[in-house]
Structure 1
Amino acid sequence: MTHSATGAPDPDGAPAGAADRAGDGWDWAGLAALAAVRLGWPPAVFWAATPRELAAALALIAGAGSGGPARHPMGRAELRALIRRFPDR
């Protein structure tokens, strides 16, 4: 990867030519931000990942890796049931 203006190595930036993909229908800036915030990925890791790898990682944090889509937030009834099932000792 190189810095687009200087040609110098840029290990944390987008690969050379990434700006050329702006019209490909992908929100690269949004996906990079999502990967950074939700996955803790630095730019070099994001740009090295395939779309399938990114989708798999995001699915895991959304709960899809546990057998289904992300669940709704826990309600009072569910919390009370857990408290009864696992009381503090």
Structure 2
Amino acid sequence: MKDTNTIVITALASIISLGALGTQSSALAGEKKNVEKCYGIAKTGQNDCKTLSNACAGHSLQDGQKDAFIALPKGTCERIVGASLEAAAAAPK
């Protein structure tokens, strides 16, 4: 059962991450009001900005790292299992 949940969560996070690529470019263009930071769902190396444990986008150390975020349309993050609108402490290396 746990493996099935992990697969479903990972698939959902991947789909949302792909959809957020367009949102990220518009957020960089200055339309940040409709975007929120969604923590804990980014795939390894796919975070949008720095984390508590590194200083660059694309350098998250593991899937679902609690201090790594991706930019999503407002209201989306709260609908994703395991996602958070606030960063948590990074897992020790």
* TM-score under structure 2 length normalisation: 0.25
TM-score by length of 1: 0.25
Q: Which has the higher strand share?
A: 2
Higher Cα radius of gyration: 1
Higher RCO (C-alpha under 8 Å, 6+ residues apart): 2
